[in-house]
């Protein structure tokens, strides 16, 4: 299975720790690529409509190569820290630019990992889940999991042995 992981964090902290643990579980028999939007030159979507949801973006930047990878994936993992009660700008920018290939984004398998400072039952996680639920309904995504975690300090998640096992098991549970 081709897996595209979109890393919504520009830091090397808890979100990357979760991604690496997931990869550890998913690496056998799967082709995995991590997309780091903070390292890419992707202009915001202008809503110009020239792409007609299938032609690709008219921007001459990293949009089309990035969205090509996402569209070619069988499964997409969105991993994001919580910034101001929502997903990061980095991950939102990639989601927005997926519009240029919207028809090829349908019926994907999707996983969502969210890391925030508030306890896992906090409203911020519900807001993010609602946003992904709307996108998933529109694109007929098969959401395999939505996992919110609480971690404040840079290495706090790495010390949570149960969470690390869970991330790895989420990767292992994927169909090969």
The pLDDT score that the predictor gives to residue 176 is 57
**Does the pLDDT value for residue 155 go beyond 90?**
no
C-alpha 100/C-alpha 67 separation (Å) is 8
C-alpha 87/C-alpha 131 separation (Å) is 9
pTM of the model: 0.94
The string of pLDDT tens digits covering residues 34-83 is 999 999 999 999 989 898 888 899 999 999 999 999 999 999 999 999 99
Cβ proximity of 4 and 73 under 8 Å: yes
Cβ proximity of 18 and 171 under 8 Å: no
The CATH code that applies to domain 2-172 is: 3.40.50.360
Greatest distance between any 2 Cα atoms in the chain? 48
C-alpha dist (Å) from residue 151 to 2, 86, 122, 157: 29, 15, 13, 6
C-alpha 20/C-alpha 11 separation (Å) is 14
> What mean pLDDT do residues 131-158 have?
92
What percentage of the chain exceeds 70 in pLDDT?
99
The string of pLDDT tens digits covering residues 102-138 is 888 999 999 999 999 999 889 999 999 999 999 999 9
**Does the pLDDT value for residue 154 go beyond 90?**
no
DSSP state of 78: E
Residue showing tokens 């090397």: 12
C-alpha dist (Å) from residue 138 to 26, 56, 59, 81: 27, 19, 25, 24
Q: Where are the domains of the chain?
A: 2-172
The pLDDT score that the predictor gives to residue 52 is 86
The least confident of 22-26, 72-76, 96-100, 151-155 is 151-155
pLDDT grade, residue 7 (50/70/90)? very high
**128 CB-side CA count, 13 A:** 30
What percentage of the chain exceeds 90 in pLDDT?
82
């Amino acid at each position: 299975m081709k897996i595209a992981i979109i890393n919504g964090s520009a830091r090397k902290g808890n979100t990357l720790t979760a991604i690496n643990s997931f990869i550890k579980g998913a690496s056998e028999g799967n082709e995995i690529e991590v997309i780091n939007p903070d390292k890419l030159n992707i202009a915001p979507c202008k809503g110009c409509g020239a792409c007609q949801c299938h032609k690709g973006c008219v921007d001459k930047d990293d949009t089309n190569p990035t969205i090509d990878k996402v569209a070619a994936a069988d499964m997409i993992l969105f991993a994001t820290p919580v910034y101001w009660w929502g997903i990061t700008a980095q991950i939102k920018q990639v989601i927005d630019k997926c519009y240029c290939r919207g028809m090829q984004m349908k019926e994907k398998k999707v996983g969502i990992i969210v890391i925030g400072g508030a306890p896992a039952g906090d409203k911020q996680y519900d807001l993010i889940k609602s946003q992904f639920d709307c996108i998933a309904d529109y694109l007929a995504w098969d959401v395999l999991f939505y996992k919110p975690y609480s971690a404040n300090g840079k290495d706090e998640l790495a010390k949570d042995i149960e969470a690390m096992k869970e991330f790895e098991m989420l990767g292992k549970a994927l169909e090969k």
